[in-house]
Amino acid sequence: MSSMQSNSSTDVTFVRPATFFISDFSNIPHSKYYYVFLSLVYVVTVLGNSIIMCIIYLARRLHTAKYIAVFHLALSDLCGSSALIPKIIDMFLFDHQDISYEACLTNMFFVYHFMNLQSLTLLALAYDRLVAICFPLQYHAIVTKPAMFLIVGVMWIVSATFFSVLVGLVNRISFCRSNVLNSYFCDYAPICGLACNDISINILMGKISYGLLICTPLILIIISYFCISVALLKIAHGADRIKALKTCTSHLILVAIFYLPVLCNVLASVTTPLHPNTQIINNSLTQTIPPMLNPIIYTLKTEEVMQSIKELYKRSKCVKYCNIGVDFHYLPERNSLTTDI
């Protein structure tokens, strides 16, 4: 290895590579077309999430606590995809598969951090629906804009702190086998797999990371919807029950799109050994497709957003025609000769 760091106080030497080599698909012809597809996914993701954030910012009716969380989900989707897909395109479309040790750890931090924020934001939206349906009279007193800003702030602090520690612990790993990562980005597990010293604390933190990222939020979301189901059964009128359930539809779809592929990948890897190519495709689609679909689902399945889009469109038309009216109002009068003709 080309670089080495020594800790003289404990007489421990950690061997680190100057660079990692991110491996590509093996024995798949025309694999570059897959990365072209991911680039198109990224374009749609950027456009969709930018549009939904602009709509929330411009539409006054969406300036509520719930849409602070929706705005944050769109922001997390946009940043998460930006941390992952452009780097994938640069590495595999333009053959820049060598990445420096420091850049690799930085990439790992941002990918995991924003993926965790997506998961926690879905939990915050589940909390919003829980209070709205189970405690409708107290909703506006409990789920306030300051409270939602506080929740988002705590998310950032907890996630950034945890993944800073997780990534920092990689510096305790001594690499003496290879610098080739069998993944599509600087993934934590493949990096730990290259270690030749004791990495028990890294394995423990990896398990805690999985629990923080997937298991805990999903369990809390399931509990919240169990409480919502109990509350819905107590509603006497079927029409009111359906109306309340419709307010949860878009969130339930987002939860399914985010968590089901992850759980399926985990179950598949546990029950059946997956080919590395299959793992790369499954994991990359799991991380890139939900951020693309989320704004589309919220636009099509949420009545408030659709109504806001219509209002913004009408407002833009009104401004346009009002400006035209002002222009005509100040046009100079035609002279009499022209009028007679």
Q: Which two tokens stand for residue 218?
A: 């999903």
Taking only the tens place, the pLDDT of each residue in 265-314 is 888 877 877 787 888 888 899 999 999 999 988 877 788 888 888 888 88
288 close to 85: Cβ distance less than 8 angstroms: yes
Taking only the tens place, the pLDDT of each residue in 169-180 is 999 898 887 889
Please report the pLDDT score of residue 323 as a whole number.
Answer: 61
Angle at which helices 276-301 and 238-271 cross, to 10°: 170
- For residue 13, report the phi and psi dihedrals to the nearest 5 degrees: -115, 125
Please report the pLDDT score of residue 314 as a whole number.
Answer: 83
Binned at pLDDT 50, 70 and 90, residue 330 comes out as very low
- For residue 54, report the phi and psi dihedrals to the nearest 5 degrees: -65, -40
Q: Which two tokens stand for residue 274?
A: 């997956």
Taking only the tens place, the pLDDT of each residue in 81-120 is 999 999 999 998 888 899 999 999 999 999 999 999 999 9
Does 332 have pLDDT greater than 80?
no
Please report the pLDDT score of residue 5 as a whole number.
Answer: 44
Amino acid symbol at 186: C
109 close to 164: Cβ distance less than 8 angstroms: yes
For residue 133, give the nearest of 222, 236, 219, 245 by alpha carbon.
245
* Length of the chain as a residue count: 341
112 close to 163: Cβ distance less than 8 angstroms: yes
Secondary structure of the chain: what % helix, strand, coil (to 5)? 75, 5, 20
